[in-house]
């Protein structure tokens, strides 16, 4: 046995950068904030706070050769730039197997983090707090946020693509969202087939208690939703067959009382469009998902929402939110 081991050829090392494995991460944190934002899609301050949070909660630990900071930097670089392991391994000087191992380790802890970051509203919002259209929030006093469904690109095996196919022949997963007026997502449910009707998704999600959908809402509280949903006591939709998209009111302003209602409603509900726009700009993987198993794709989507909420809740100065 020893003789066979002696004859074993040494492993051919193909990561030969002069930077040590942790040097790249340290260089990001010690350099300009711009390079941290461009590489990890968040400022150095946000990144340090995030790592400290995971250390404090004991969700991640330093490994023998890889620190928490480096694990998280690898994960954020992958989802922030939709990069493959073969590219990231050169940057961080690790093998593809190591990249795969720590990507999934961090992703698993992100599901615990998401349960802490994505939580229902208090249903008693402070109307004087900063956020979208304070004057309109006094008009829609009972509104606790906006509800919508959105499509996120998905990679689906050919045999299962029919129920996931959307426009231009691409596949999507349908994601149900609720966002408060401070651009914080208070509920996210990912993984539905792309062709599923938004109203059906809402009904099915509400029917399963384990989904923790915030329903029933307290008295006089409701969510704003678009015409894809039924107008009920707890879900307020705009007038149907009346202009209600913001773009519909330019340059021709609202004239009738129904159009004026829809215009005011659209300006307030637009917070969910802006919040998702920030998320989409931060994580381009939502526009072009990598070839992960579908459950991993779903978890990556949830992780992106959790990161965005953390930055917003910590009141960290962030150029995308600005």
Q: Say what the pLDDT of residue 20 is.
A: 57
Give the 3-state secondary structure of residue 254. coil
pLDDT at 19 over 80: no
Q: Say what the pLDDT of residue 179 is.
A: 94
Average model confidence (pLDDT) across the chain: 86
**Structure-derived torsion over alpha carbons of residues 281, 114, 104, 155, reported in degrees to the nearest 10:** -50
Low-confidence winner among 12-21, 76-85, 226-235 (lowest mean pLDDT) = 12-21
d(CA 190, CA 137): 28
List, in sequence order, every residue forming a beta bridge with 146; answer none if it has no partner: 179, 224
pTM, 2 dp: 0.87
> Could you tell me the sign of the dihedral formed by the alpha carbons of 36, 37, 42, 44, in that order?
positive
Q: How does pLDDT run across 127-180, given as a tens digit for each residue?
A: 555 555 666 777 888 888 999 999 999 999 999 999 998 877 899 999 999 999
Name the band, by pLDDT with cuts 50, 70 and 90, for residue 17: low
Q: How does pLDDT run across 243-302, given as a tens digit for each residue?
A: 878 777 877 788 888 898 888 888 899 999 999 999 999 999 999 999 999 999 999 999
pLDDT at 9 over 50: no
């Amino acid at each position: 046995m020893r003789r066979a081991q002696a004859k074993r050829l040494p492993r051919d090392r193909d990561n030969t950068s002069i930077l040590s494995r942790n040097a790249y991460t340290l260089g990001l944190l010690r350099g300009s904030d711009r390079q941290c934002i461009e590489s990890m899609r968040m400022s150095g301050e946000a990144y340090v706070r995030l790592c400290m949070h995971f250390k404090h909660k004991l969700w991640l630990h330093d490994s023998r050769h890889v620190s928490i900071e480096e694990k998280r930097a690898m994960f954020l670089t992958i989802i922030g730039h939709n990069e493959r392991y073969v590219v990231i391994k050169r940057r961080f000087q690790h093998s593809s197997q190591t990249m795969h191992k720590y990507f999934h380790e961090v992703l698993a802890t992100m599901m615990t983090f998401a349960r802490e970051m994505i939580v229902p509203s208090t249903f008693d919002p402070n109307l004087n707090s900063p956020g979208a259209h304070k004057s309109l929030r006094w008009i829609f006093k009972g509104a606790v946020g906006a509800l919508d469904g959105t499509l996120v690109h998905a990679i689906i095996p050919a045999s299962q693509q029919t129920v996931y196919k959307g426009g231009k022949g691409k596949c999507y997963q349908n994601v149900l969202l609720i966002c408060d007026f401070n651009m914080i997502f208070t509920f996210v449910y990912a993984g539905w087939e792309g062709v599923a009707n938004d109203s059906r998704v809402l009904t099915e999600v509400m029917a399963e208690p384990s989904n923790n959908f915030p329903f029933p809402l307290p008295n006089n509280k409701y969510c704003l939703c678009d015409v894809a949903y039924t107008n009920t006591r707890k879900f307020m939709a705009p007038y149907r067959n009346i202009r209600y998209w913001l773009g519909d009111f330019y340059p021709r302003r609202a004239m009738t009382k129904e159009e004026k209602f829809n215009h005011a409603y659209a300006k307030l509900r637009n917070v969910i469009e802006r919040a998702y726009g920030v998320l989409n700009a931060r994580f381009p993987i939502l526009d072009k998902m990598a070839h992960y198993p579908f459950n991993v794709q779903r978890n990556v989507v949830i992780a992106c929402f959790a990161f965005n909420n953390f930055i917003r809740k910590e009141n960290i100065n962030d150029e995308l939110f600005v």
